[in-house]
């Protein structure tokens, strides 16, 4: 099948934000009296609050009580404190421009809320290039459940065999895999290759993929049915 579109994760893929998200969780939990170490929450970045909160504190949920308050506080921290300090992943803007020049449609698939996404895209310096997105409001469950990737495919009105996803976590790879979408993974989200092993390809960051564009899945333009 001919490649028609690319689904884009944001955190750790287009913007170097994974550590900031982990620190925001640590501080949000601490606000309500819960001691959650950075080292415990960092490996879960890539999942949404529906997954992170109960894994950190048994019995809490992002839909009620302290869990809901913690989720709201984390969101506030990301929007107001962390997003303005973040740096784009190397080559993010240049890679997106290249894909657009090649005629590919681009759509975001993220566990972030719409409000968070605005600041993250500005930090990635690509907010003027992207106008299609599937966010937390489009999914009942976050990655590694397939909901957000399914929502992106629905918005694109394309089959999985016509799409590739760019991402940085094993949760993205699992979610996309459940939909039959191959993933090009980046190491700039700080997950090691063993955790990214189910990706179709692995590159250091967007600039690395751009440097090898013609030899990548993006350059081949023809996808093998999965």
Is-contact 173 143, C-beta < 8 A? no
Nearest CA to 80 out of 52, 116, 114 is that of: 116
40 is in which domain, residue-wise?
Answer: 18-84
Distance from C-alpha of 63 to C-alpha of 49, rounded to nearest angstrom: 9
Q: Which of 84, 119, 141 is the last residue of a domain?
A: 84
Q: Domain check: are 148 and 76 in the same one?
A: no
Is-contact 7 41, C-beta < 8 A? no
- Kindly state whether residue 225 falls inside one of the protein's structural domains: no
- Note the pLDDT tens digit of each residue in 40-82: 999 999 999 999 999 999 999 999 999 999 999 999 999 999 9
What was the pLDDT predicted at 1?
Answer: 72
Nearest CA to 163 out of 179, 185, 175 is that of: 179
Instruction: For residue 28, name the pLDDT band (cuts at 50, 70, 90).
Output: very high
- Kindly state whether residue 101 falls inside one of the protein's structural domains: yes
Q: Domain check: are 63 and 100 in the same one?
A: no
Output the average pLDDT for the chain: 95
Query: How do 105-109 and 183-186 pair as beta strands?
Result: unpaired
Domain with 76 in it: what CATH number?
1.10.150
The model scores a pTM over 0.85: yes
Distance from C-alpha of 173 to C-alpha of 17, rounded to nearest angstrom: 18
């Amino acid at each position: 099948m001919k490649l028609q579109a690319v689904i884009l994760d944001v955190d750790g893929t287009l913007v170097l934000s994974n550590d900031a998200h982990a620190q925001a969780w640590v501080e949000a939990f601490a606000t309500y009296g819960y001691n959650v170490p950075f080292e415990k929450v960092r490996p879960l970045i890539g999942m949404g609050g529906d997954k992170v909160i109960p894994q950190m504190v048994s019995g809490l949920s992002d839909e009620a009580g302290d869990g809901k308050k913690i989720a709201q506080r984390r969101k506030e921290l990301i929007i107001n404190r962390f997003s303005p300090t973040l740096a784009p992943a190397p080559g993010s803007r240049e890679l997106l421009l290249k894909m657009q020049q090649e005629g590919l449609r681009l759509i975001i698939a993220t566990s972030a809320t719409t409000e968070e996404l605005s600041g993250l895209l500005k930090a990635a310096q690509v907010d003027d290039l992207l106008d299609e997105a599937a966010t937390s409001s489009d999914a009942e469950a976050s990655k590694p459940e397939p909901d957000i990737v399914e929502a992106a495919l629905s918005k694109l009105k394309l089959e999985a065999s016509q799409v590739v996803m760019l991402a940085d976590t094993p949760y993205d790879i699992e979610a996309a895999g459940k939909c039959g979408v191959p993933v090009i993974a980046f190491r700039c989200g700080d997950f090691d290759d063993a955790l990214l092993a189910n990706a179709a390809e692995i590159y250091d960051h967007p600039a690395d993929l751009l440097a090898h564009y013609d030899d990548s899945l993006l350059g081949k333009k023809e996808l093998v049915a999965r």
